[in-house]
Structure 1
Amino acid sequence: MLLLDRHGPKEDVWERAETLCQAETNFVIAPFGAIAGSPFVHSDIRIGALLEPNRTIDEVAPFFDRFDLIVIHFANAADGRGFSTARQLRQAGFKGILRAFGPLISDQFPQALACGFDEVEIIGAAASRQPVEHWMEALSRISHFYQRDYGANDSIPDQRLARAAHV
């Protein structure tokens, strides 16, 4: 397993559990269904929710105040639903940490960050095939986006509109 943010590799302090009661630390990632159906837990436990691609924002939004982390599962690198889910979560007001989880490839790293992810957890063969250097290099390959970057208004269409306004 490899956990990266825009600055490079980082240590994962979160523990995965099937329910919040099974956790042995105060940083717990559990499936969304297990959390949504459980009573409110002690305030000293930081909760991470694992979302499968079929979850809707309307299902998750009522729980934003309980989650410090949302992990969006990518079943494979070709499944782009997680990018849309991340963007929708940010637009709906989620302020916590967003983590992409699954067999992503380094070329997807810039887009993941642009969609609102804070970090990417790469698993299995994808982590061993592409070292950290590939992931960090991917950030420098793309300098301009057609999509509006989360938190910025410097997409290619925005730049064109700005230039046209000055002509």
Structure 2
Amino acid sequence: MGKYILDRKPADDNWMPFTGLEELDTLPSGDIYIPLSEWIERREELLKRNSRLGVILENTDDVNDIAEDLDRLDLVVLQFPKMSDGRAYTQARLLRERLGYKGEIRAVGDVLRDDVFYMQRCGFNAFELRDDQDVNSVLKAFDEITVTYQPAADEDLPIWRR
């Protein structure tokens, strides 16, 4: 298993990515997450499973495509294909602030120590780290900035209103 942080603690990742659904009988038991296209196509069948479900979104997908299903999804995975592509920040904020999603929002891909504090502010609470990232160092990054000025998913009041 890769390096994984959940709610600012190292954790075991019990989720399994799954693509290419042919028959639901071929799905592994346990918690799975699937691409949005598979979710849209097989939603009713997937909801009959007894395990937790999640969806992985491309950073070009519209989070509103899963808005009606957020109460049924335990995990939303958002992708950072490269450090300079920040569209997943917006997706996370929309999920938390506009759509009120309370489940796990996981960052995957080019997840770096320098970015996790800001990802958390936007609503991420889980991070799948790149192999070259040290978990203990990343955990320290959450506490390096102690005062934030603007409102975000983790603090709805600006500093002058607190």
Query: Retained in 2: the 8 A contact 1:15–1:25?
Result: no
**Structure 1 runs, 4 residues or longer, greater than 3 Å off:** none
C-alpha offsets along residues 85-113 of structure 1, whole Å, 9 cap, x if unaligned? 00001121212111111111101111111
* Aligned residue number for residue 95 of structure 1: 102
**Residue 24 (structure 1) shift:** 1.1
**Residue 83 (structure 1) shift:** 0.8
Instruction: Identify the match of residue 66 of structure 1 among 69, 72, 78.
Output: 72
Instruction: Identify the match of residue 76 of structure 1 among 79, 82, 91.
Output: 82
* Aligned residue number for residue 119 of structure 1: 126
Instruction: Identify the match of residue 85 of structure 1 among 74, 91, 98.
Output: 91
Q: Give the partner amino acid of 2:31.
A: F
Q: Does 1:142 align with 2:145?
A: yes
Q: 1:85 to 1:43 in 2, by over 3 A?
A: same
TM-score, normalised relative to structure 1: 0.84
* Aligned residue number for residue 29 of structure 2: 25
Count of residue pairs the alignment pairs up: 155
Q: Give the partner amino acid of 1:159.
A: I
Q: 1:84 to 1:62 in 2, by over 3 A?
A: same
Structure 2: tracts of 5 or more residues without a match: none
Query: Retained in 2: the 8 A contact 1:48–1:67?
Result: yes
C-alpha offsets along residues 97-145 of structure 1, whole Å, 9 cap, x if unaligned? 11111111101111111111110112xxx322x2112201211211122
Q: Distance in 2 between matches of 1:7 and 1:88?
A: 21
C-alpha offsets along residues 6-37 of structure 1, whole Å, 9 cap, x if unaligned? 43211001111113834312201111110111
Identity rate, percent = 25
Q: Give the partner amino acid of 2:40.
A: A
TM-score, normalised relative to structure 2: 0.86
Q: Does 1:3 align with 2:4?
A: yes
* Aligned residue number for residue 12 of structure 1: 13
Structure 1: tracts of 5 or more residues without a match: 163-167
Query: Retained in 2: the 8 A contact 1:16–1:23?
Result: no
